[in-house]
Amino acid sequence: MEVIESLAYFILAGLFEIGGGYLIWLWLREGKGLWYGVFGAFILVLYGIVPTLQPTNFGRVYAAYGGIFIVLSLLWGWKVDNILPDRFDILGGLIALVGVLIIMHWPRGYFQKTFILVVRRPLPKPSLLAISKSEGRG
């Protein structure tokens, strides 16, 4: 259930971000009325609120959201701007979605602890004997 709820929040945030940005685009670039910009700004504020409902930390949420944004942007371009995604768009979107699933829902356990131990292992200190041999003194 957590995966479905998380995905729903991502989709809602994406629609708010793309929709709000699109309304501002129409206002500034297409000459639509000021209310397009005002309503777009309001929707963008909602976009900023929705990710706070996610069950994990800020960095992980926004990293994963990037993948959702990629797919939603391609779908928006297809359905709103009539730009059909090509096979590379689709492949890239699928790869991004796999990344979302890994970032948000991969079980954190043995691998994470092992990885942290490997990354945090201190480097060996160079010995004076090794330094003097490499300089040809010993």
The tens digit of pLDDT for each residue in 22-61 reads: 999 999 999 999 999 999 999 999 999 999 998 888 888 8
Using pLDDT thresholds of 50, 70 and 90, give the confidence band for residue 106.
Answer: confident
At 33, give phi and psi (nearest 5°). Answer: -65, 165
The tokens describing 70, both together, are 């990629």
What span, in angstroms and rounded, lies between the C-alpha atoms of 68 and 94? 10
What span, in angstroms and rounded, lies between the C-alpha atoms of 84 and 63? 26
Q: How much is the pTM?
A: 0.69
What span, in angstroms and rounded, lies between the C-alpha atoms of 56 and 53? 9
Q: Quick: pLDDT tens for 57-69.
A: 888 888 889 999 9
- Report the number of distinct structural domains present in the chain: 1
Range of the domain at 18: 2-134
